[in-house]
Structure 1
């Protein structure tokens, strides 16, 4: 039985990584952890000095005084559209590009030069209104006002969490349901290509993944979590003492994900979706 599991694991890795011509044991481990858990943490994905530069720019956007908690008025301050040099550098490190190739496939993802939205969380007595379990919506159908998701993860290759501050369990880290990316494909399948809004899907993916163990997206400035688009996650109230600075941009696909390939040339993300549908062991 052990030999059978090892053989199956090797086949899974080979099939999920055909897009990458050269890889070693560390790459194999990254792919396997992503397939099993739905995310990987890339420690030191970009230099701490870059993270510090980004954090200074984010503080300026808030209008808050870093040294005066009395100015931290809201539990969550959203910042968007940051495309200055340090943010582009953070998104385009060699470590991240290599990981994108491993998980999404060479030439199947679009480089980022801005980091989208930043939910900056501050210690606060007021509870935030965005702490429910969910997956991210990634496209806006005509006539709709809420972002949708579908089984092929239209418009999103990965969910990424960039840390620009020290984040411990006391600093309101993102909560993650480990392995929940495998519970979501059966929820999405009945909606077909049209998909459904993140608001409609929220209670369903929360219920489907309720049995999963919990992890927290903790780390140091410069760490990045690369997450399957279907990873179920949630924010939480911040009752600590220091702000948490993080970006949560998507990695955009250069070509759509496909779940039926005649040549079997599936990316790691596609392979995981098929596994969730019980089409792969």
Structure 2
């Protein structure tokens, strides 16, 4: 039956179809922005007032706590449901809560004095570090960008390439055998010829909802004012369907793909995955997870300094048990590692030059 839009206006729906993203101002409840940021400087172990202590200009932190999406950012959740075609299409477990896995862009003295135009940026990508990618994969339908600090122009806001969606869709369409992460560089070489770039700016509490195939890249922070975001994802119960009998039942996220390919529908007879679907432990959590223990030690030490006990520290890793087990399942941390895992103890992103493919036998379907 046709998608029932309960929140988005026609203007917002048209904007998502044309640009591949939608901004929801003041989406995150202020209490969560404040609570999550309260121990930020303790976790990262920098002096808030001394940029010389900011040893890394770009840092990815682990998640210690999360909140159900409908509670954390109610309006953004309503928009997400509309964009994917209804709440019933959402996975009931994976990515059902958003948390404090911060991505920090501090900038540096060098970038205070030099420019970094988006057309020259490196590292263009679409998110997926935990499943075999097909054009119709529903493991990630949307990438969410939550702002935890104000971000001005040139303040380190994520770059997005609006006219890059077409090339990404065409690339995945040409690989029905599926691609295990990380993807080959050829996936995004077309971005250098694109023309429509946007820098994600806004106020703390704003949320950007972006199509999974919208290429994005880190910009440089020219202001030396810390930029803190989080980028959770939206997972579907099942893959995209590009040939629904009733076109009105196509979700906005499916329509974006069809528009990019220039077709009204994509019958299964013309496109179908030619390999089994696979899911893995998220690669990037290896280097985020390497920071967990030292963050816990700093948080506990700070609590004791204030005359409080360890129980006052809000981290799922100190609670353990069923709480931690459910937390891990929401993030896929209970999955086996894929063929291109980072070595244990890795603390920062690195490129694996030789990309291996997982062995398909034996395999458990998604």
The alignment's TM-score, normalised by the length of structure 2, stands at 0.62
Which ranges in structure 2 are unaligned for 5 or more consecutive residues? Answer: 112-120, 266-366
Partner of 2:90: 109
After TM superposition, the runs of 4+ consecutive aligned structure 1 residues lying more than 6 A away are none
Distance 1:96 1:159 in 2: 12
Shift of 1:182: 3.1
Q: Which has the larger radius of gyration?
A: 2
Aligned partner (choices 153, 157, 161) of residue 173 of structure 1: 157
Partner of 1:136: 127
Shift of 1:94: 2.1
Answering whether residue 55 of structure 2 is matched by residue 73 of structure 1, we say yes
> Contact 2:57–2:105 at 8 Å: present in 1 too?
yes
Shift of 1:126: 6.9
- The residue correspondences of 1:170-249 to structure 2 (distance < 5 A) are 170-195=154-179, 197-200=181-184, 202-207=185-190, 210-249=193-232
The alignment's TM-score, normalised by the length of structure 1, stands at 0.79
Aligned partner (choices 18, 39, 62) of residue 44 of structure 2: 62
Distance 1:198 1:140, change over 3 A: same
Shift of 1:262: 2.8
Report the secondary structure of 2:193's partner residue: coil
Aligned partner (choices 75, 83, 105) of residue 95 of structure 1: 75
Shift of 1:259: 1.7
Distance 1:234 1:272, change over 3 A: same
> Contact 1:259–1:274 at 8 Å: present in 2 too?
yes
Report the secondary structure of 2:37's partner residue: helix
Shift of 1:221: 0.4
Aligned partner (choices 237, 241, 247) of residue 258 of structure 1: 241
Partner of 1:164: 148
Report the secondary structure of 1:159's partner residue: strand
> Contact 1:109–1:252 at 8 Å: present in 2 too?
yes
Distance 1:169 1:61 in 2: 26
> Contact 1:78–1:118 at 8 Å: present in 2 too?
yes
Q: Deviations over 1:52-95 (max 9, x none)?
A: 222223333212222222221111121122324xx556863220
Distance 2:216 2:56 in 1: 22
Distance 1:108 1:209, change over 3 A: farther
Greater RCO, CA 8 A, separation 6+: 1
